[in-house]
Every structure is written in structure tokens, then in C-alpha cells.
């Protein structure tokens, strides 16, 4: 049956009469709340409160499992048991797997089965669960798109738009899905900028968890320093990189209560990927650094890089080990830093360096994957572009923090 144009319109009218209700729409309280969360004057204070809640929940939840139970489990039971039953005390295999036989805590033992497992399961896992749980609730409640609208003006200054906040926040969990999430951005310029900036400046949830253990009083400073760098270098990159930064129209869903089953499912998917992607890298990282230490390669490299590390960045040459480990896992690198003798300010600088320094191998692989969109040329552009930005950032932003300590008279 073929309908004429008039018949089609008549049919549309009939359907509309049966399905559409006409009347004056009255704003509900939910609508009014939705409005005030996107207006800067009211939305920013609310965002501050939400982020405070996020951070406090993160600290309380991770602290409960790590300090309340897992530290005791690893230090009082797992480590002494391993030290007692593992054969070949003092040998290479013992050192690589169990670490220092005299250590009385897993942070300092530095074996694959001691520090490696403790960092991955004892410290990072609770932090990751806490982070993703809160993030999923924000996502599913409809708050995250509103945050995107709120930060749109700020992100426009660096050639991005509000939706870039999604990879930014995801990056606080793990850089790998965050780099993948840059695909939602419109142009190649925006995708490259975002992937580079978050790989350099945004510490992942695992690293944040370890930072809370190692430098609890300075995490705020480190975050502000890194975020300032994010915007300054974002502004510079926006000027240097050719390409467009178009406007977008963002669909903001209404607020609704997250469904427990969806939250559970999403949480499981994300935590499972942490188990499969992150834990093997942590364990491998410990093994590689231990082998480098035992063969003397680490000492040789530390001596070679001493002028740069001590002179430019003001950190001890021993930080070279954690910097190598940072390529595998940044959380592991921060944990290693805590075992090196240095002042608090050197420790803070080292943590900043670990964040700025080369992205972890999983993120690096993701950058290559994203670059493939433009063929080999695209891969080369992504890699060399990111590396050039990274080298400039490490030397400028990493050196600046040393300069700040010198000016304050603490370095």
C-alpha cells in the first residue's frame, strides 16, 4: 500500500493525537535541580562538594581495606611466612621473588611476591574499587554530563570541549580506557591533545592510592601542580597543533537513581580489567627492576643520569630504578620511591616526575593503537608528537618544581 504525501501527514497527525499529550509543562523539582547543577554560579560549588565527597569516600574506603586489614595480612602473616618457607635465602631467585630477607614490611621487601602483590592487591585494588564505584554512581545518576557542561568554557580555552572531562575523569581511574574514550572527541587534533595531556598529567587511581599512602599530606599539592600543567601545556599544544576544535551539542539526560545491578556489572567489568591488565605488569616490573639491580645495570644508569637527576630535578640518583619501573606501572614506581632515603620535598618532586615521565606501557600501547587510525604516518605522529610534548613537559614542569623548592629554601 502506497500513501500519498497528504495521507502520510494525516497518518502522522492521527498517531500524534493518540500518543502526544499537549499542555503546559511545569518545572519539577528535579528539573530545577538539573538546571542549577549546570549553571556556573551554583554548579561549581556543587561540583566542589561532589569532588570532596568523591575524595573522602576514596580515602575512607581504600584506607579501611588497606590499613585496616591488608597491611596486617601482608606484613604480619604473608611476609614472615614467605621469609620462613622460601628456600635459598640470599640467592638471586629469593631476592627477585621475596626480596630483602631482613625486611619487616612488604613496602620495603621488594620481591615480586611481597611488594609486587602487596602493591597490586593490598593498596591499589581497594583504591580502584572505590574510584570506579563512585565514578559509576556519578555516571549512572546523570551528574557526569552536567559536569561536562560546567567545565565546557574552561576546556574551550585549550581547544577541547566539555565532553573531554569524561576521558579526564576516566583517566583518574586508568589511563588505558581514558585514551580509548578520546575517540568521542570530534577532530584528530582534539584526540591527540587529550590523549597526550592525560597520559602525561593525570595520575591513575592506582597511583593515587599509593600516593595517599606515601605522601598523604602532599597529594593535594601534586594534583594542583599537575592540573595546572595540564591547562598550561594544553593551551600551548592548542596553539602549536594545526586542526579544528569544533563546538558540540551535548545531550544531558535527566537525573535518575543508579540501578544496583548496572553498577555491580560495570564495577565488575572494570575491576576485572585491572586484574588482567595491571597486576601482571606490577609483578613484571618488580622482576625487571630487581634483575637490573642485581646485574649492576641500575647503578650504572643511576651514575650516568646523576647530573640530570640531582642537578636539574634535585632528586637522588637512586630514583632511576622507580623511573624505569614507572614505564611498567606508576603505582609500583611510587611505592619504590618510598623506600629510597630522601627529604619530603625530594619525594614530592620524585612523585611528580613519575607522573610526568613516560606513560605506563599499557597507555603507551593504547596511544599507538589510537594513532593507527591515520596509518603508519598517524602512529608516527602520535608517538613522536607525544614524546616531544613529554620531553618538554618533564624538563620544564619537572624542573620548575625543583626551582619552587629552591625559592622556598627547602631544596
Exactly one of 3, 60, 240, 380 binds another protein (CB under 8 A); that residue is 60
Q: Are 137 and 258 in contact (CB under 8 A)?
A: yes
Of 118, 238, 155, 261, the C-alpha closest to 189 is 238
Nearer to another protein, 88 or 254 (CB): 254
Q: Are 191 and 251 in contact (CB under 8 A)?
A: no
Nearer to another protein, 10 or 31 (CB): 31
**Per rule CB under 8 A, is residue 72 in the interface with another protein?**
yes
Nearer to another protein, 53 or 254 (CB): 53
Exactly one of 23, 87, 217, 242 binds another protein (CB under 8 A); that residue is 217
Phi then psi for residue 110, to 5 deg, are 65, 35
Site map 223..242 versus another protein, x via CB under 8 A: --------------------
**Per rule CB under 8 A, is residue 63 in the interface with another protein?**
yes
Q: In the chain, count of helices (H) and strands (E)?
A: 23, 0
Extract the runs of DSSP E, i.e. beta strands, from 163-300: none
Cα distances (angstroms) measured from residue 56 to each of 49, 59, 151, 341:
10, 5, 22, 30
CB of 53 to another protein, least distance (A): 4
CB of 72 to another protein, least distance (A): 7
Site map 10..49 versus another protein, x via CB under 8 A: ----------------xxxx-xxx-xxx----x--xx-xx
Q: How would DSSP label each residue in 72-122? A: HIIIIIIHHHHHHH-SSTTSHHHHHHTB-TT-SSHHHHB-IIIIIHIIIII
Nearer to another protein, 263 or 305 (CB): 263
Nearer to another protein, 169 or 176 (CB): 169
CB of 29 to another protein, least distance (A): 6
Task: Give CA 222 to chain center in angstroms.
Answer: 13
CB of 342 to another protein, least distance (A): 23
Distance CA 347, CA 340 (A): 9
CB of 27 to another protein, least distance (A): 5
Amino acid at each position: 500500500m502506497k500513501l500519498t504525501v497528504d495521507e502520510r501527514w494525516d497518518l502522522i497527525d492521527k498517531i500524534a493525537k493518540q500518543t502526544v499529550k499537549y499542555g503546559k509543562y511545569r518545572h519539577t523539582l528535579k528539573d530545577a535541580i538539573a538546571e542549577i547543577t549546570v549553571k556556573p554560579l551554583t554548579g561549581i560549588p556543587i561540583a566542589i562538594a561532589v569532588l570532596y565527597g568523591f575524595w573522602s569516600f576514596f580515602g575512607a574506603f581504600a584506607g579501611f581495606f588497606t590499613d585496616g586489614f591488608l597491611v596486617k595480612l601482608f606484613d604480619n602473616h604473608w611476609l614472615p611466612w614467605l621469609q620462613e618457607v622460601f628456600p635459598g635465602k640470599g640467592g638471586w631467585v629469593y631476592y627477585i621473588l621475596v626480596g630483602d630477607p631482613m625486611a619487616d614490611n612488604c613496602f620495603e621487601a621488594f620481591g615480586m611476591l611481597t611488594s609486587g602483590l602487596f602493591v597490586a592487591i593490598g593498596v591499589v585494588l581497594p583504591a580502584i574499587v572505590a574510584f570506579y564505584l563512585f565514578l559509576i554512581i556519578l555516571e549512572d545518576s546523570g551528574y557526569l554530563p552536567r559536569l561536562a557542561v560546567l567545565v565546557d568554557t574552561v576546556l574551550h580555552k585549550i581547544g577541547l570541549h566539555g565532553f573531554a572531562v569524561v576521558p579526564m575523569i576516566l583517566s583518574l581511574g586508568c589511563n588505558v580506557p581514558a585514551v580509548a574514550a578520546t575517540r568521542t572527541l570530534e577532530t584528530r587534533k582534539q584526540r591527540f591533545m587529550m590523549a597526550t595531556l592525560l597520559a602525561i598529567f593525570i595520575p591513575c587511581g592506582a597511583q593515587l592510592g599509593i600516593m595517599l599512602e606515601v605522601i598523604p599530606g602532599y597529594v593535594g599539592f601534586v594534583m594542583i601542580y599537575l592540573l595546572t600543567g595540564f591547562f598550561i601545556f594544553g593551551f600551548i599544544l592548542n596553539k602549536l597543533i594545526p586542526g579544528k576544535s569544533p563546538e558540540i551539542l551535548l545531550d544531558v539526560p535527566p537525573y535518575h537513581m543508579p540501578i544496583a545491578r548496572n553498577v555491580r556489572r560495570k564495577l565488575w567489568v572494570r575491576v576485572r580489567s585491572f586484574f588482567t591488565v595491571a597486576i601482571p605488569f606490577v609483578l613484571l616490573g618488580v622482576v625487571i627492576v630487581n634483575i637490573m639491580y642485581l646485574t649492576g645495570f641500575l647503578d650504572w644508569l643511576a651514575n650516568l643520569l646523576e647530573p640530570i637527576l640531582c642537578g636539574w630535578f634535585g632528586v637522588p640518583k637512586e630514583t632511576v630504578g622507580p623511573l624505569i619501573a614507572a614505564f611498567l606501572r606508576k603505582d609500583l614506581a611510587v611505592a619504590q620511591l618510598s623506600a629510597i632515603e630522601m627529604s619530603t620535598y625530594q619525594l614530592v618532586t620524585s612523585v611528580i616526575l613519575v607522573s610526568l615521565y613516560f606513560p605506563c606501557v599499557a597507555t603507551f600501547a593504547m596511544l599507538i593503537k589510537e594513532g593507527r587510525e591515520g596509518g603508519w604516518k598517524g602512529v608516527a605522529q602520535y608517538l613522536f608528537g607525544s614524546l616531544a610534548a613529554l620531553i618538554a613537559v618533564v624538563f620544564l614542569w619537572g624542573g620548575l618544581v625543583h626551582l619552587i623548592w629552591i625559592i622556598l629554601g627547602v631544596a
